[in-house]
Amino acid sequence: QVQLVESGGGLVQAGGSLKLSCAASGRTFSTLRVSWFRQAPGKEREFVAAVNWRADRTYYADSVKGRFTISRDGAKNTVYLQMMSLKLDDTAVYYCAATSQRLLPPAAGAQYDYWGQGTQVTVSS
């Protein structure tokens, strides 16, 4: 079993930065693909970024490419999402998720076995 706990959310002005963390428990975490999703009020959940289990491939939604960076620290069992140049549209609850799947597109949310509780990110003007 894997448990995921997000942290690092908060209130930031447009153009600012935040770094989210997803801390995991469980021996199998190092073998899992980990992704970040987000859900804004009244909108569907959307894929943000993913890192594969070896941390040698990353994937990004077009809306965050060039602004967000996903990374993982195996020693700390933690995945990070560095968010820069934040926009009002980035306001959402951010969730990390993990899956043992390696062939499916990372944006397909149904494949994820484990989800965190979410952390709120609010970008103000």
Q: φ and ψ at 30, to 5 degrees?
A: -65, -15
The CA distance from 99 to 40, in Å, is: 23
Contacts of 42 (CB under 8 A, 6+ apart): none
- Count of C-beta atoms within a 10 Å radius of residue 73: 12
The CA distance from 29 to 82, in Å, is: 20
User: pLDDT, tens digit, for every residue of 4-22?
Assistant: 999 999 999 999 999 999 9
pLDDT along the chain (125 residues), means of 10: 95 98 88 96 96 92 98 94 98 96 86 95 97
